[in-house]
Amino acid sequence: MDGRPVLVSTEYEDPTADLVIAELNRRRVPVLRLDPGKDLPGPVALAARLGTDGLSGTLRAGDRAVGLHEVRALYHRRPSPYLPGSGDQAERFAAHETRRGLGGVLAALPGCLYLSHPQAIARAEYKPEQLTIAAGLGLRVPETLITNDPTVARSFASGQPTIYKPLHAGPYHVEGEPAGIWAAVVDPASIDDRLIDCPHLFQAQVPKVGDVRAVVVGDRVFCALIKAPEGVVDWRSEYRALTYEAVECPEPIRAALLLYRREFGLNFGAFDFAVTTENEWWFLECNPNGQWAWLEHAAQLPITTAIADLLENGEPA
């Protein structure tokens, strides 16, 4: 039996990662879980050596340790950011050193499958490049404007039904409570000089009858058609009212998705499409580390098995 471990880099409360870890445990694949952004100072001890033979040494989390040259795969899920506790100068220095030290070692593991490599994920989160690559691969992409010029934005939104969506789905709070910023229809008259504060993404609204989330794991593609109540622009705002159906991915789109993931060096991606009455699939975005666990249950898609297969047996992208 192959005793090489899989590293899982994620926050402490991550039920999605829990599913994969449980499956790897069932297969008797050794797993070491850590949260790089919070485990130093703490239960993690790193001793990495770089020499003529490359990278070697050990990584210890609690009472468990692995040899860095033995790691078969790193599942880079959703680790905490490398942030200082109090924010004083010493803690800022330590946080930056941890990111470049521990984070740098995790990004340089020899012969390791990454799902996906942290630097590939970081690059793939930029929507302008996402849209550019997708269009270049032949996927339908809605006309898009990124601007902080109110005049240009009003002109764009006056020319066709338009939606706004954030360029990054970061943490956001309203009156101290976590909140989402959903895609929403834009009234051109509502665009004012506040727009100059930062670039905004505007997009021609697709006359959709449903959405598809396509989850790519290595060379496997799993698709679910998501139906929301009529008039809902962003299905994420109405989780309790959604219906799901597993659907086949059209071959031209499947081929484009696999080229897309190779272009970005990804081994995973959660792709969102708007689907019209003519069954035209319009590419909206790719979350290189998107959620999928609820979809596996709702649409009966074997995504946990596919991820465990790749971590256990796969080859790097």
222: β partners: 215
**pLDDT in the model for residue 40:** 85
Instruction: Give Cα separations from 98 to 12, 135, 215, 244 (angstroms).
Output: 18, 38, 32, 42
Tokens representing 27 are: 């297969």
Mean pLDDT over each residue of the chain, to the nearest integer: 93
Cβ 31 vs Cβ 6: under 8 Å: yes
pLDDT tens profile 49-98: 999 888 999 999 988 899 999 999 999 999 998 887 767 888 889 889 99
b (16+ CB within 10 A) / e for 285-297: bbbbbbebbebbe
* pTM of the predicted protein model: 0.93
* For residue 169, pLDDT beyond 80: no
Distance from C-alpha of 272 to C-alpha of 123, rounded to nearest angstrom: 18
* For residue 174, pLDDT beyond 70: no
Given pLDDT bands bounded at 50, 70 and 90, which one contains residue 181? Answer: confident
Phi/psi at 117 (5° precision): -65, 135
**pLDDT in the model for residue 173:** 62
Distance from C-alpha of 285 to C-alpha of 273, rounded to nearest angstrom: 7
* For residue 153, pLDDT beyond 90: yes
The mean pLDDT value for 116-132 works out to 97
Phi-psi map region of 127: left, alpha, beta (phi>0 left; psi -120 to 50 alpha): alpha
Label residue 264 exposed, middle or buried (CB < 10 Å: 0-12, 13-18, 19+).
Answer: buried
* For residue 310, pLDDT beyond 90: yes
The 10 Å Cβ neighbour count of residue 200 is 21
Domains, the chain: 6-111 (no CATH), 122-127+208-313 (3.30.470.20), 143-204 (3.30.1490)
The mean pLDDT value for 100-125 works out to 95
* For residue 256, pLDDT beyond 90: yes
